[in-house]
Structure 1
Amino acid sequence: MSLFGKVKNTINLLKGVDLDQLAKIQKQIDLTEAMKALGSLDERQLQGLMKMLKTKRKKGQSDLPPIDGDFYNLDLKLTEEQRELQLKVRNFMEDEVRPLVNDHWNRAKFPFEIVEKFAKLNITGVPYEGYGCPNLSFLMEGIIAQEIARVDVSISTFFGVHSGLAMGSIYLCGSEEQKQEWLPKMQKLEKIGAFGLTEPNVGSGVAGGMETTCKFDGENWVINGQKKWIGNATFADVIIIWARDEDTNQVKGFLVRKGNPGFKAEKMEDKMALRIVQNALITLTDCKVPESDRLQNANSFKDTAKVLRMTRAGVAWQAVGCARGAYESALKYTKKREQFGRPIASYQLIQNHLVEMLSNLTAMQTMVFRLSELQDQDILKDEHASLAKVFCSMRTRDVVSRAREVLGGNGILLEYDVARFVADAEAIYSYEGTKEINSLIVGRAITGYSAFVN
């Protein structure tokens, strides 16, 4: 935090203190030294102090620690600039998204009103170089994913699909002309992207069993088939469609524009998870795409896998965000909810649940932090990302289950947020590779034997 910001926060601390109170304080402490001490505090310490001063406690009640899911203080490993960006995203999610998210989740509607505000954060395309992208670390991309998912996993999914999968496909597999056309506008969220890989009959086995086909007719590529579970697809301006070339049997990628003849996106209804995400069933019927809209550097599924490898780490961070949101919501509830004349947080069984939740969360946080360090060092392997996806998605399920348990009957009400985290954790558990498929990727790496069915 800047010196100006520290001084401003210090002044805010003293607001409401009258002259008589100041005189009494001055007799007991050296205000000059106190101001210096306050000015030396970092953002997190200042926020904790301000929260403590503002909180009215019952007579005789001891000071309670702040609600913070970062038990091992990983935020201290961040630079001042990184921490500032983290808090900027957190404040946005708390101020702009949290007030509306339960209503939109309940109605399965997307809050389009936040997109323009989201763009002002300048966090889209975080790890990419050029095209207006911030060119920050993969670590920061992960932390941003966590901060968004900490409030709502659906918004985090929208962001991950657009910034990671769609923009990532163009960044890794597109020509320079395609990058120049799409990435600057997508970075500003002026154009929204989607990513079409999964199919109705083929999920994890899409590498070898893709049913969507493409064929060059001399003028255009003609695409036929279906894609399912495609987030953002009902309103996206460009959808990355992966199809198998009938002539070469190789997978190719295409930029299918909104309104392209032969392209149809139907919103999927009645989901129990990620209800804000506008998933679509896409049908492509003789959908013609010019050669100029074929991703010029996507010539096999290995190129598709590069995109998935880059983004899978983000899903592990998303799981951490979901778990952190559930844990912090549960902890907050247990401090306020009273039974038998005492806050339920004071009972042994509740504390046991909270410690189990925090143990899982802390293990997950340290794992993904190291995962992103590997990615920033360019030594990330498929099995690294897969292990994180397996562990974090499993542990998140446990965390949200315990969170729901400590809330009792209130755990199934949206107003307490935990119910939403419980449902959304199920989606995280399945997408970007199921637990079983990611386990086989890790198993192959550690044994040398492939257990995939050929």
Structure 2
Amino acid sequence: MTEATATSDFYDLEALLDEEDRALLHRVRAFMDTEVQPIINEYWTRAEFPRQIIPGLAELGIAGTQFSGYGSPGKSALLDGMIAMELSRGDPSVSTFMGVHGGLAMGSMHLCASEEQKERWLPAMARMELIGAFGLTEPDSGSDVARGLRTTARRDGDAWVLNGQKKWIGNGSFADLVIIWAQDVDTQRVLGFVVEQGTEGMSAVDLEDKIALRAVQNAVITLEDVRVPEENRLQEANGFKDTAKVLRTTRAGVAWSAVGCARGAYEHALRYAGERTQFGKPIASFQLVQDLLVRMLGNITASAALCMRLSQLQDAGRMTDEQASLAKAVSTVRMRETVGWARELMGGNGILLEHDVGRFVADAEAIYSYEGTREVNTLIVGRAITGVGAIV
């Protein structure tokens, strides 16, 4: 373990894991340091995902970490969160890729699929032989997607016909299985469908010119009279409340990912402070630089402790939507602040990709907004503490 990594876990939260889980966490860290760090800036610049790392991620056995059975490891929510943090510490795009596949897509299967469907798809997803995507957000429906879903599903004999568009769908252009959420035109219920890559009528185009998470390939998916057999409808998804179960499970992971993004920027800044010389000595010896480093570490430690307790509640089956929303909102605000201080510490060098911090600064903007904006998460918590709903 490097000195920078050791100091970023200032309260030794890793000690909460048993020896086996700590070893897995360290393997994830080593993989990110040796296989991802040397190449990620190139792929980030080209706006491409380094698919050659997928077999290595598969060997780690971390797809669907907190789910049990069908090839998933059945580990704790705490370990799952720390793995999301570790992936994001190396690169937030890789963490997002795994969050979409192992969290949203596999989570939809574990929580909303029938036994037959789980047996059919989950083992291959756990081995990462099949990659998943999650299609909920639409061009005109983001925060209001629970009420504003426009993608429709119409029953036609033993099949369903899907029409509509999805936007910002991570892995959407190359995933083998895309979970599409659509509204039944007859019952108005939100239903989930597994649409396999290559299905006639479904097309995906990657969004271009993103300034954040550039290595994540987010797609606009268009569905034009896409026929999906009834056997591909998620049998236990009977309304948006079931969709929300998936989102509740993964929101904690996004909070952990925010901590990881902040940690990555901090560790690069700390290393830089020890190597960069000005006025004849390392800038780490300057009081104002140490002040910035301590502020960053304080944010990281406080956010990690918040997420740790959230994961413990999740493991105990006691986590609420409001608790997940508070962690996501607070952690992403502190992340945004922290990556800015890391950039500030580096001066002009902070905007050069060769020093890495600029990538974290940019990627933080996406983490800040996806899976619930700060404003919406604030209103969810506000409703819980005041008893008054302020969401229009």
**Superposed pair shares fold, TM > 0.5:** yes
5 Å-filtered alignment, 1:200-215, equals 200-215=139-154
For residues 292-337 of structure 1, give each alpha carbon's deviation from its aligned partner in whole angstroms, at most 9, with x where no partner exists. Answer: 0000010100000000000000000000000000011101000100
Distance 2:330 2:79 in 1: 21
Residue segments in structure 2 that go unaligned for 5+ positions in a row: none
Amino acid at match of 2:333: M
Structure with max Cα Rg: 1
The runs of at least 4 consecutive aligned structure 1 residues that moved more than 2 Å come to 65-68
SS at match of 2:384: helix
The equivalent position to 1:186 in structure 2, one of 122, 125, 135, is 125
For residues 123-174 of structure 1, give each alpha carbon's deviation from its aligned partner in whole angstroms, at most 9, with x where no partner exists. Answer: 1111111111111101110010011000100000000000000000011000
5 Å-filtered alignment, 1:41-440, equals 47=1, 68-440=7-379
Q: TM-score, normalised by structure 1?
A: 0.85
CA contact (8 A) 1:139 1:372 kept: yes
Aligned-residue sequence identity (percent) comes to 60
Amino acid at match of 1:366: A
Residue segments in structure 1 that go unaligned for 5+ positions in a row: 1-46, 52-64
CA contact (8 A) 1:67 1:332 kept: no
CA contact (8 A) 1:149 1:325 kept: yes
Q: CA deviation at 1:68?
A: 2.5
Amino acid at match of 1:437: V
CA contact (8 A) 2:163 2:225 kept: yes
SS at match of 1:120: helix
SS at match of 1:99: coil
Distance 1:328 1:88 in 2: 18
Distance 1:72 1:392 in 2: 17
Please tell me whether residue 444 in structure 1 is matched to residue 360 in structure 2.
no
Distance 1:271 1:66 in 2: 29
Distance 1:129 1:244 in 2: 29
Amino acid at match of 1:252: L
CA contact (8 A) 1:309 1:382 kept: yes
Distance 2:165 2:56 in 1: 33
Amino acid at match of 2:21: Q
106-115 or 160-169, larger mean C-alpha shift: 106-115
Q: 1:446 to 1:66 in 2, by over 3 A?
A: closer
For residues 1-37 of structure 1, give each alpha carbon's deviation from its aligned partner in whole angstroms, at most 9, with x where no partner exists. Answer: xxxxxxxxxxxxxxxxxxxxxxxxxxxxxxxxxxxxx
CA contact (8 A) 2:5 2:267 kept: no
Amino acid at match of 2:332: S
State the match for 1:30 in structure 2: none
For residues 97-118 of structure 1, give each alpha carbon's deviation from its aligned partner in whole angstroms, at most 9, with x where no partner exists. Answer: 1111011001111111111111
Q: CA deviation at 1:219?
A: 3.0
Distance 1:66 1:443 in 2: 35
Q: Which has the higher contact order (CA 8 A, sep 6+)?
A: 2
CA contact (8 A) 1:238 1:256 kept: yes
CA contact (8 A) 2:155 2:161 kept: yes
CA contact (8 A) 1:323 1:396 kept: yes
Distance 1:273 1:95 in 2: 23
Q: CA deviation at 1:67?
A: 5.7
